[in-house]
Amino acid sequence: MSITIRKKELKSGKKSLYLDIYKDGQRRYEFLQLYLTGNKQEDKETRQLAESIKAKRQLELAHNNHGFTAPFKKKADFISYFEKDAESFGKGTKKQYNNVLNKLKDYAGDSLQFGAIDRRFCEGFKAHLLSELNPNTARVYFAMFKAVLNRAVKEEIIPENPADKVDGITAKNGRKIKYLTIEELRTLAKADCPHSEVKAAFLFSCNTGLRWSDVQPLTSDDIIDGQIQIRQTKTGGAEYFPLSDQALKILDGRDSDPLFDLPTNAQANRILKDWASNAELERWIRLKDHKGNVVQQGLTYHVSRHTFAVQVLASGGDIYTLKELLGHESIQSTEVYAKVVNQTKRDTVNNLPEVEL
């Protein structure tokens, strides 16, 4: 392993400095965008800067050789790295990467150091995706998250990919919608919640169908004559939503911006599980087996959107109106809720008491 500072003479007469890096039988060059001009004092300072960069690269290689990550790399921001990575793709793929990025920000916030990403973090992000998305979409999103980490390994930012220690998500046929029945919603509304703002926001989404990423930044300027006018975070489209009397009642008296004082999405989901426990809603309480494996996910924020959709159709709303209310780009995304309501109707009829004929 060796690193040597070399010079390349340019047509202008200046000399460009670059690093000749030799490691494991492979040679690569790093041009430093530093130039010697012939000015004695300036060239001295330029050489000192080049030596400083060389020392930094030597430290990186030494850490990588022993399976460690250099301390300053651990502090580098993964969110910024992810954003730059997304920019390198075409429109369609870039949109997908940005969707993954939004989910990552929901889970971890707007800043995330590489050093904070370990197996436990990856397990948590995987669970977060499964709580927000259908398994097939979650599988794709987790694979893209893992791919960005693989690029960081290739660029020697981290020595290994912590997501490799986590089982991937298995694709499933069909999509299971988890929603609250009207009785469960009423029970939940009466129960104590550890965080009043999370409770208010969740109930607001149950009455509007808005995602967490759309509710979190809402301000008073977004409410006009009993309506919400926003640009959805996921689709990027400007949408118009009429508010029900119940939704307006939740907003009554809220004059601060944003309208809801909320923690991160991951923290909110933990609060929701405690709230469901307080309400004694057994199927919405997070459960683990004796080995600590999650066997029942528990209540998550995205359930509010599903609850709104199912209740709209169950109350006589049509699927095309629901498509507009949810901001779906295609009717196929909305049809899954119609299937849920139809199945519920069949289950109700099948549970009628038998009458001997």
Whether 123 maps to a domain, the answer reads: yes
Are 25 and 97 found together in one domain?
A: no
At 250, which helix (H) or strand (E)?
A: helix 245-251
Domain of 290, CATH number, reads 1.10.443.10
Kindly state the tokens that stand for 219: 């301000």
Helix 196-206 with 303-314: angle, nearest 10 deg: 40
Q: What pLDDT shows up at residue 109?
A: 86
Please choose, from the candidates 109, 147, 103, the residue with its C-alpha nearest in 3D space to the C-alpha of residue 126.
103
For residue 113, what are the β-bridge partners? Answer: 77
Structural domain containing residue 25? 2-68
So what's the pLDDT on residue 289? 64
What does the alpha-carbon distance between residue 337 and residue 340 come to, in Å, rounded to a whole number? Answer: 5
Q: Quick one: CA dihedral 236, 241, 244, 249, positive or negative?
A: positive
Residue where a domain terminates, one of 68, 88, 104: 68
- 173 occurs within a structural domain: no
Domain end position, chosen among 95, 130, 165: 165
User: What is the per-residue pLDDT for 165?
Assistant: 87
352 lies in a domain? no
- Does residue 225 sit in the same domain as residue 327? yes
Q: What is the pLDDT of residue 140?
A: 85
Same domain, 229 and 336: yes
> Does 355 map to a domain?
no
Q: Is residue 23 part of a domain?
A: yes
**How many Cα atoms within 13 Å fall on the side-chain side of residue 92?**
0
* Whether 56 and 88 share a structural domain: no
Q: What is the pLDDT of residue 267?
A: 93
Query: b/e for 160-169, b at 16 or more Cβ within 10 A?
Result: ebbbeebeeb
d(CA 17, CA 61) in angstroms, rounded, equals 20
CATH number, domain with residue 123: 1.10.150
pLDDT per residue rounded down to tens, the chain (357 residues):
688 998 888 888 888 888 888 776 777 778 888 889 889 898 898 989 888 888 877 776 665 554 444 454 557 888 888 888 777 665 556 777 888 989 999 888 888 888 888 899 999 899 888 888 878 788 888 988 998 898 888 887 888 898 998 888 876 655 578 899 999 999 999 999 999 999 999 999 999 999 998 899 999 888 888 888 876 555 555 567 789 999 999 999 888 889 999 999 989 999 999 999 999 998 998 887 666 777 688 899 999 999 999 999 988 888 888 888 888 877 877 888 888 877 766 655 555 566 666
Domain finish residue from 44, 68, 92? 68
* 338 and 203, same domain (yes or no): yes
Residues 146, 189, single domain; the answer is no
Residue 59 corresponds to which tokens in the numbers above?
A: 């430290």
**DSSP-derived secondary structure letter, 243:** P
For residue 242, list its beta bridge partners. Answer: 227
Q: Of 119, 79, 70, 112, which Cα lies nearest the Cα of 97?
A: 79
Do 126 and 249 share a domain, yes or no? no
At 274, list the tokens: 């405690």
pLDDT of residue 212: 92
Please give the pLDDT value at position 325.
Answer: 87
Asked if residue 177 belongs to a domain, the reply is no
Backbone angles phi, psi at 18, to 5 degrees: -150, 160
In a domain, 356, yes or no: no
Question: 130 Cβ partners below 8 Å, 6+ apart?
Answer: 138, 169, 297
Instruction: Mark whether 82 and 63 lie in a shared domain.
Output: no
**SS3 assignment, position 256:** coil
- 42 and 125 share one domain: no
Q: The sheet that has 238-242: what strands, in order across it?
A: 223-224, 227-231, 238-242
Domains of the chain: total: 3
What is the C-alpha to C-alpha distance for residues 155 and 129, in angstroms, rounded to an integer? 26
On whether the CB atoms of residues 230 and 174 are closer than 8 A, the answer is: no
Residue 326 sits in the same domain as residue 192: yes
Do the Cβ atoms of 326 and 177 come closer than 8 Å?
no
CA atoms within 13 A on the CB side of 349: 6
Q: What is the DSSP string of 96-158?
A: HHHHHHHHHHHHH-S--BGGG-SHHHHHHHHHHHHHHS-HHHHHHHHHHHHHHHHHHHHTTSS
The pLDDT score that the predictor gives to residue 89 is 62
Please state, in angstroms and as integers, the Cα–Cα distance from residue 91 to each residue in 96, 140, 149, following that order.
9, 17, 21
Q: What is the 3-state secondary structure (H, E, C) of 123-137?
A: HHHHHHHHHHCCHHH
Tokens describing residue 48: 């000192």
Supply the pTM of this predicted model: 0.54
List beta partners, residue 224: 227
Q: Are residues 195 and 314 in the same domain?
A: yes
Q: Are residues 101 and 60 in the same domain?
A: no
Task: Answer yes or no: is 357 within a domain.
Answer: no
Residue 55's pLDDT is 83
